[in-house]
Structure 1
Amino acid sequence: MHKLHLASSNRRDQLISRMEALAEERQVEIVHWDRKGLSRISKNSRQDQGVALDLALPHYSTCEGFLQQRQGDNNKKPYELLALDGITNPQNLGMIIRSACAGGIDGIILPRKGCAQIDPLVIKASTGTLFKTRILRCETLANTLGEFRKAGARVCGLSSHAQLTLAEVTGEVPTIFVLGNETRGVSEAVSKQCNELLRIPMHNDVESLNVAVTAALISFRHQL
Structure 2
Amino acid sequence: MNRRDSDAYRAKKQFYDRVLTVYGRKPVLEALQVPGINIHRLHLAESNKRAPILDEITAIAERNGAEIRHHNRAALSRISKNSKQDQGVAVDLLCPRFRTLSEFLEQGIQDSGDILALDGITNPQNLGMIIRSACAGSIGAILLPGKGGAQIDPLVIKASAGTVFRAPIIRLDGGLENALEQLNKVGYCITGLSSHSQQTLSECAPGKNVFVLGNETHGVSDGVNRLCQARVKIPMNNGVESLNVAVTAALIAFRNAL
Structure 2 equivalent of residue 100 of structure 1 = 134
Structure 1 equivalent of residue 210 of structure 2 = 176
Structure 2 equivalent of residue 90 of structure 1 = 124
Match status 1:5 vs 2:40: no
Match status 1:23 vs 2:57: no
Once structures 1 and 2 are overlaid, which stretch shifts more, 139-148 or 1-10? Answer: 1-10
Match status 1:54 vs 2:70: no
Paired residues, number: 219
Distance in structure 2 (CA, Å) of the matches to 1:14 and 1:130? 27
Q: Identify the match of residue 177 of structure 2 among 142, 157, 180.
A: 142
Relative to structure 1, is the Cα distance of residues 119 and 14 closer, same or farther in structure 2, using a 3 angstrom cutoff?
Answer: closer
Q: Does the aligned pair in 2 maintain the 1:86–1:180 contact within 8 Å?
A: yes
By how many angstroms is 1:38 displaced?
4.3
By how many angstroms is 1:17 displaced?
3.9
Once structures 1 and 2 are overlaid, which stretch shifts more, 42-51 or 151-160? Answer: 42-51
Q: Does the aligned pair in 2 maintain the 1:5–1:53 contact within 8 Å?
A: yes
CA RMSD of aligned residues (A): 2.2
Question: What are the Cα deviations for residues 156-186 of structure 1, in whole angstroms up to 9, with x where unaligned?
Answer: 1112332321111012x41111111111111
Structure 2 equivalent of residue 151 of structure 1 = 186
2:202 maps to amino acid: A
Structure 1 equivalent of residue 196 of structure 2 = 161
Q: Does the aligned pair in 1 maintain the 2:200–2:234 contact within 8 Å?
A: yes
Distance in structure 2 (CA, Å) of the matches to 1:131 and 1:62? 15
Match status 1:63 vs 2:101: yes
Match status 1:215 vs 2:249: yes
Distance in structure 1 (CA, Å) of the matches to 2:158 and 2:112? 31
Question: What are the Cα deviations for residues 173-216 of structure 1, in whole angstroms up to 9, with x where unaligned?
Answer: 41111111111111221122212111111111111100000000
Distance in structure 1 (CA, Å) of the matches to 2:239 and 2:138? 31
> What are structure 1's unaligned runs of at least 5 residues?
none
Structure 2 equivalent of residue 116 of structure 1 = 150
Q: Identify the match of residue 194 of structure 1 among 219, 222, 228.
A: 228
Distance in structure 1 (CA, Å) of the matches to 2:96 and 2:88? 26
Tell me the percent identity. Answer: 58
Distance in structure 1 (CA, Å) of the matches to 2:60 and 2:126? 33
Question: What are the Cα deviations for residues 130-156 of structure 1, in whole angstroms up to 9, with x where unaligned?
Answer: 011111122121221111111111111
By how many angstroms is 1:23 displaced?
2.5
1:133 maps to amino acid: A
By how many angstroms is 1:93 displaced?
0.6
1:2 maps to amino acid: H
Q: Does the aligned pair in 1 maintain the 2:125–2:155 contact within 8 Å?
A: yes
> What are structure 2's unaligned runs of at least 5 residues?
1-38
2:185 maps to amino acid: K
Match status 1:33 vs 2:33: no
Relative to structure 1, is the Cα distance of residues 18 and 115 closer, same or farther in structure 2, using a 3 angstrom cutoff?
Answer: closer
Q: Does the aligned pair in 1 maintain the 2:120–2:149 contact within 8 Å?
A: yes
Q: Does the aligned pair in 1 maintain the 2:112–2:140 contact within 8 Å?
A: no
Once structures 1 and 2 are overlaid, which stretch shifts more, 148-157 or 43-52? Answer: 43-52
Q: Does the aligned pair in 1 maintain the 2:113–2:138 contact within 8 Å?
A: no
